[in-house]
Amino acid sequence: MLFDVRPKIFEEDLFNRERELNMILEALRLGEGIILVTGIRRIGKSSVLNVALKKSNLPYVIIDVRKIFFEYGNVIHRRALFNAIADSFTRNMKFFEKIKFKVKDVIGRIKGFYVSEVGVEVEPNINSKLTDILAAIDEWCLKNDFRFIVAFDEAQYLRFAGGVKYDGIFAWVADNLRNISIIFTGSEIGVLRDFLKFDDPSAPLYGRYYREVVLNRFDRETSIQFLKKGFEELRMEVDGEELEEVVDKLDGIVGWLTFYGYCRGIQGLSHRRALNETFEKCSRLVLEELQKIIEPSRRRYGAILKAVSLGYTKWSDIKDYVTIKVGSITDRRFSMLLNKLVKYSYLIKENGRYEIPDPIVKYVLREKFQI
Ligand SMILES: Nc1ncnc2c1ncn2[C@@H]1O[C@H](COP(=O)(O)OP(=O)(O)OP(=O)(O)O)[C@@H](O)[C@H]1O
Ligand SMILES: [Mg+2]
């Protein structure tokens, strides 16, 4: 069902991402080591990742790094990562059996992991390292002619790993473990880039080949088609003008369109109420996430975002607004904060002008956000 608000798992529920799916599948077929799936929040990264993993028919683990980060007190502990790996194996035991990937042979050999019929568990005082796990998987895959996928959803949170340098580990995997492909997704695209540092000569992943699959918003026509098809599935007739208004207001961000469709099609709200509900409910989510990001310099970040939401798009105009609102700030510091917001994908910079790419973020900043 298109209007299911959870990340999609089945290809038939994934609308208009054939090209992106094929890019990922081709990279896997060619045995490429690193694949990035990037795009702003709610654009469908997790859905595309889920479907690609399923469609590849290859064994995989998928790790929701953002979930670990928030569940375990804003840090990525090794043990939490191992638990997530074990859980992912457990969820897919039947699939592994079907494709003859022998979890027990592979994971059972690693100290601290325990494999039973029903799943994989981690001993509390496990001493093994991620590299041990990956090496064991790769060795088995090499002998048995498998490719294995390790997927990190919202991988940029791996930068909060205490002393562990994951970028170094990934470079080692890329160079040495030929039968493993890693997929990273990230909505804070600049932050993900800063973490992986493909362009930094002093960083471990420097110069490594990677394939990037960028998820863009749907264009107008595709957004309308998406809504039409979703309502058709529910056998509902909807007014074309109303759909136009939905796309005017929510743009081609499939997550928001899905939420509208859910409110209207499943919850049975009227067009107007569904649209209001989408703005109200989704803006709460957005605001919560935004507060966390801007916390280190709340008033200044807040003033920058407010300025852009009010239509100031030029560096100097935004800076003037910020200075009036929260006092003077050096050019350097101002640019740093502005660029950070671009890295976090709250702003985009196009032809020297700054904009907010997400209509719900814009609404939140205009209506709900006080500096
Ligand atoms: N191609 C698609 N077809 C149908 N529904 C989709 C599609 N892509 C995403 N969705 C829906 O949009 C919402 C957001 O999708 P998803 O969680 O995959 O995006 P995301 O980019 O991972 O979001 P986040 O940044 O919050 O992690 C979900 O409700 C999902 O079901
Ligand atoms: Mg996601």
In a domain, 88, yes or no: yes
Q: What is the CATH number of the domain that holds 335?
A: 1.10.10.10
Q: What's the whole-model pTM score?
A: 0.96
User: Cβ neighbours of residue 285 under 8 Å, at least 6 residues apart?
Assistant: none
Q: Whose CA is nearest to atom 17 of ligand 1?
A: 7
Q: How many domains does the chain have?
A: 3
Q: Choose which residue among 46, 70, 216 to substitute to test ligand 1 binding: the one with the highest number of ligand atoms within 8 A of its C-beta.
A: 46
Beta bridge partners of 120: 115
3-state SS record for the chain: CCCCCCCCCCHHHCCCCHHHHHHHHHHHHCCCCEEEEECCCCCCHHHHHHHHHHHHCCCEEEEEHHHHHHHCCCCCCHHHHHHHHHHHHHHCHHHHHHHCCCHHHHHCCCCCEEECCCCEEECCCCCCCHHHHHHHHHHHHHHHCCCEEEEEECHHHHHCCCCCCHHHHHHHHHHHCCCEEEEEEECCHHHHHHHHCCCCCCCCCCCCCCEEEECCCCCHHHHHHHHHHHHHHCCCCCCHHHHHHHHHHHCCCHHHHHHHHHHHHHCCCCHHHHHHHHHHHHHHHHHHHHHHHHHHHHHHHHHHHHHHHCCCCEHHHHHHHHHHHHCCCCHHHHHHHHHHHHHCCCCEEECCEEECCCHHHHHHHHHHCCC
Tokens of 222: 């595709």
Tens digit of pLDDT for each residue in 9-35? 999 999 999 999 999 999 999 999 999
Q: How far is the CA of 256 from the centre of ligand 1 (A)?
A: 9
The predicted-structure confidence for 324-348, as pLDDT tens digits, reads as follows 999 999 999 999 999 999 999 999 9
The answer to the question of residue 329 being in a domain is yes
Q: Whose CA is nearest to atom 29 of ligand 1?
A: 5
Residue 367 carries which side chain, given as an amino acid letter? Answer: E
Looking at residue 371, what is its pLDDT? 85
**CB neighbours of 267 closer than 8 A, spacing ≥ 6?**
274, 277
Residue 297 structure tokens: 């310099």
Is the pLDDT score of 197 beyond 90? yes
Assess if residue 4 is contained within a domain.
no
What does the alpha-carbon distance between residue 169 and residue 185 come to, in Å, rounded to a whole number?
Answer: 17
Residue 11: inside a domain: no
Domain boundary pick from 264, 289, 314: 289
Question: What's the pLDDT score for residue 95?
Answer: 97
Cβ-proximal residues to 46 (8 Å cutoff; 6+ apart), any chain? 7, 153, 185
| Mean pLDDT within 102-111 | 94
Among 267, 289, 311, residue at a domain's last position:
289
How do residues 201-244 score in pLDDT, each as one tens digit? 999 999 999 999 999 999 999 999 999 999 999 999 999 999 99
Q: Does residue 3 sit within a domain?
A: no
pLDDT classification of 358: cutoffs 50, 70, 90? very high
Task: For ligand 1, say whether the CB of 113 is within 6 Å of any of its atoms.
Answer: no
Specify if 12 maps to a domain: no
Q: What are the residues whose beta carbons fall under 8 Å from the beta carbon of 10, sequence distance 6 or more? A: 51, 54
**Residue 74 domain boundaries:** 17-214
Residue 65 domain flag: yes
**pLDDT of 56 above 90:** yes
Q: Of the residues 4, 17, 42, which should be mutated to test ligand 1's pocket, given the most ligand atoms within 8 Å of the CB?
A: 42
Q: Is 5 in the pocket of ligand 1 (CB under 6 A)?
A: yes
CATH code of the domain covering residue 251? 1.10.8.60
Which of 3, 20, 40, 47, when mutated, tests ligand 1's pocket best, judged by the most ligand atoms within 8 Å of its CB?
Answer: 47
Would the CB of 360 count as within 6 Å of ligand 1? no
From ligand 1's centre to the CA of 199, what distance in Å? 29
Residue 73 scores a pLDDT above 90: no
Percentage above 90 pLDDT, the chain: 96
Residue 340, in any domain of the structure: yes
Q: Are residues 305 and 275 in the same domain?
A: no
Judgement on whether residues 160 and 264 belong to the same structural domain of the protein: no
Which residue's CA is the nearest one to ligand 1's atom 26?
Answer: 42
From 152, 185, 214, give the residue that closes a domain.
214
